[in-house]
Amino acid sequence: MTITVEQIQDWLSEAEEAARIAAAEAYAKNGNSDWDACGFGWVNIYKFCGKNLDGRSKLAKLLKSAGVRQDYTRAFQVWNPGGYGGQSISIKEAAASAYAKVLEQKGFTAYAGSRMD
């Protein structure tokens, strides 16, 4: 299977849209975003089709070209998927989980992460 940077960008856009929808649904369900603890949400991407993304592989280079950064642990990471501008950790977790789920459907090993501020 040959994967292009355009295909990666399409997958990331699909994941971003899913995260945006999940954030909006969580916001609608819970009302005002000030009801919850403050925090951050992100997604870590570790593998594709069972193979580690070490930063030197073709797919890792495509992820970098698509704008996904590696963190200090060398995992690929997307911060604040869905772009929710509030501080609610629950809304950010919902968005991160939706983003990771789309990536998992594409063959990635991806996990949602969060922490309180």
pLDDT in tens, 69-108: 999 999 999 999 999 998 899 999 999 999 999 999 999 9
User: What single string gives the DSSP state of each residue in 12-59?
Assistant: HHHHHHHHHHHHHHHHHHH-SGGGS-BEEEEEEEEEETTEE--SSSHH
Radius of gyration of the chain (CA): 14
- How does pLDDT run across 30-66, given as a tens digit for each residue? 866 567 889 999 999 999 999 999 888 999 999 999 9
CA-nearest of 24, 19, 27, 40 to 82 is 19
Distance from C-alpha of 100 to C-alpha of 114, rounded to nearest angstrom: 13
Res 26 pLDDT > 90: yes
Is the pLDDT reported for residue 9 higher than 90?
yes
Q: Please give the pLDDT value at position 33.
A: 59
Of 1 and 50, the structure prediction assigns the larger pLDDT to: 50
What pLDDT is stored for residue 31 in this prediction? 66
User: Looking at residue 32, what is its pLDDT?
Assistant: 61
